[in-house]
Chains A and B, each alone.
Chain A
Amino acid sequence: MQHAIDVTDLTVAYQDKPVLWDVDVSMPPGVLMAVVGPNGAGKTTMIKAILGLVRPAAGQTLIYGKPYREQRKAVGYVPQRGSVDWDFPTTVLDVVLMGRYGSLGWFRQPGKHERAQALAALEKVGMAQFASRQISQLSGGQQQRVFLARALVQDAQVYFMDEPFVGVDAVTERAIVGLLQELRAAGKTVVVVHHDLQTVPEYFDWVTLLNVQKIASGPVAEVFTEENLRRTYGGRVAFLSRDDGTGSGPALVLPTPAKQSSAFTD
């Protein structure tokens, strides 16, 4: 079967300091995959390497069997919310339209058709009434939904989302989960950098455990085990066994706050 994503022997180093060491990850199309691991584990770096934003020292990444450069139009990207200046003078609709820029290419400006697509995407994330709102007036959850809408108008086969659940309200979290399921139902593949280990079994089908090296990657039921988590997080995970018969794998809490500062991750 054709894999949606193939990462083979990927090594990335920043100034000779390795961030990812010889990582192999493959995933079939049509699944939702979480990428988890401690801060500095290289989660964001892996996504950036797949998207061609950082240059690997070795190895390669393929999307549907081809290099990213040939598959750009099949890929949607949701960067970390904190990576942009939300005081930028622009509107919600305008940000979503940016999702069409790649397909438009040079010199062409977005027109009526693109506008309709953007509005439809905003409708999907429940933000249609905010279309002409200045982006600095949005809450964290609303900002995240705008970024999701921008990825939706990319109309991709594979989506990469960097920590979409960080700092969002409960309503937004449910909305994002609903959206993820819709995408899966439509046969899309989604890779999500995730921090909340408790929700992994609930939200995702596949999981990759990463800590500079790949610890494990595969269906949640198979690889999301206590043993693998301990290997990923070292001694820093406290395990709570849950004997309520739900059988949803180990429930656990992190002793340290899952997310401290985006400036220090990866």
Chain B
Amino acid sequence: MSPQLEVQLIAAVVAAGCAIPGVFLVLRRMAMMSDAISHTVLLGIVLGFFLTGSLDSPLLMLGAVLTGVLTVSLVELLQRTGLVKEDSAIGLVFPALFSIAVILISRFAGNVHLDTHIVLAGELAFAPFERFELFGIDWGARALVTGAAILLLNLVLVLVFYKELKLATFDAALAATLGFAPALLHYGLMTVVSLTAVGAFDAVGSVLVIALMIVPPATAYLLTDRLPRMLGFSMLIGIASAQTGYWLAQALDGSIAGAMATMTGVFFGLALLFAPQRGLIAAALRHGRQRWEFAQQMLTLHLLNHEGTPDATEENRAVTLAQHLRWQADFAAQVVRRAEAAGLVRHDSGLLTLTDSGRQHAQQAFVRG
């Protein structure tokens, strides 16, 4: 396999692997935990490196996962003291742990291939040169093997615990009463997030993991309401970002991870604008349509409210309508025209009266409200 092809494969595998736990982070409103965890796993990697003297040891991974979970517990501990709010707690814990890691690197590990740039954005272009060999056989680039293993693990976990994850995400209280131990699931998810962040570290560094974990799921969230589709879309968007990001980086001769993050942003922007129902354009069009519908309902309800009351002749006049409802005169006139055309109101010598279907229309409006 050519190194170029292998780089693209690594990027795709890592992106798909990140998207899976990301979906649950986004749905559980814990996206910023990935910010904290992805920063602090660096400390675990560095400490593991000092203990083992190598960057390949599985101990590194263990250390990193432990620091990830430690971060989550520290944030929760700080919150529980009541002295610090949640957002501040996150913002206190990860800069401190990340700073320790950065200082350790620049002070003691400057000569290994961990420099502060790689920490932030990884160095995917070099990834194919780190091979994974077992029993004397070259199984592929190390990052590819770890990435594939984590993707596989995440897929298996989602399939096995799908029901529990879904329930705990949408109704934590019900999950608890059914005996699904939400705390266990929570920490399980945090462990998976940490593991995935470490696995992605080689490829995209520690900060840009956030882009792969959060942006594709958030994009998918704009496209679908169903969890299985959201998982599928997230992975596809992640892979597409990886591929297009690779080309973008080639074209600009820039960082591949940076380009991948940029592309997740581009896909998000496209969905934000053009998503069929939840996109800004669809929403604006819908709003335009509903405006008239809503105004007509307001009109019929107004007429119904004042029908048969002493002030009806005053309130229900076409001329005074705009003034009473505080509408622009031409807007009011158009609403009346549309309502007339729809057979909802009759316009008799300046007085507006409801037709039978108009009366029904008004009552329906109230039921809907």
Contacts and interface: CB of A to CB of B under 8 A. Distances in A.
A212 B324 contact: no
A226 B298 CA distance: 29
Interface string B313-343: 0010000000011110000000000000000
A71 interface: no
B369 A18 contact: yes
A251 interface: no
Residue among B305, B365, B369 having the largest count of chain A Cβ atoms under 10 Å = B369
Interface of B: 287, 290-291, 294, 297-298, 301-302, 305, 315, 324-327, 365-366, 368-369
A57 B305 contact: no
B302 A9 contact: yes
Interface residues of A, number: 18
Nearest to B289: A16
A22 interface: yes
Contacts of A9: 302, 315, 324-326
Contacts of B369: 17-19, 21, 212-213
A13 interface: yes
Given A8-B324, A9-B325, A212-B369, A24 B294 contact: no
B327 to A, nearest CB: 6
B294 A57 contact: yes
A58 B298 contact: yes
B301 A22 contact: yes
B326 A21 contact: no
Contact of A22 (B291, B305, B327): B305
A156 B354 CA distance: 42
A57 B302 CA distance: 13
Contact of A16 (B287, B301, B325): B287
A56 B298 CA distance: 12
A250 B258 CA distance: 70
Contacts of B298: 11, 21-22, 57-58
9 contacts: A9-B324, A11-B301, A21-B366, A24-B305, A57-B298, A58-B325, A58-B326, A59-B325, A59-B326
Contacts, number: 49
Interface in A1-60: 8-9, 11, 13, 16-19, 21-22, 24, 56-60
Contacts of B305: 22, 24, 213
A16 B294 contact: yes
A56 B291 CA distance: 14
Interface string A50-75: 00000011111000000000000000
A70 to B, nearest CB: 16
B307 to A, nearest CB: 12
A9 B369 CA distance: 16
Nearest to B324: A9
Given A22-B298, A213-B301, 20 more contacts: A8-B324, A9-B324, A9-B326, A11-B298, A11-B301, A16-B287, A16-B294, A18-B297, A18-B365, A18-B369, A21-B298, A21-B301, A22-B305, A56-B326, A58-B298, A58-B327, A59-B326, A212-B369, A213-B366, A213-B369
B153 to A, nearest CB: 38
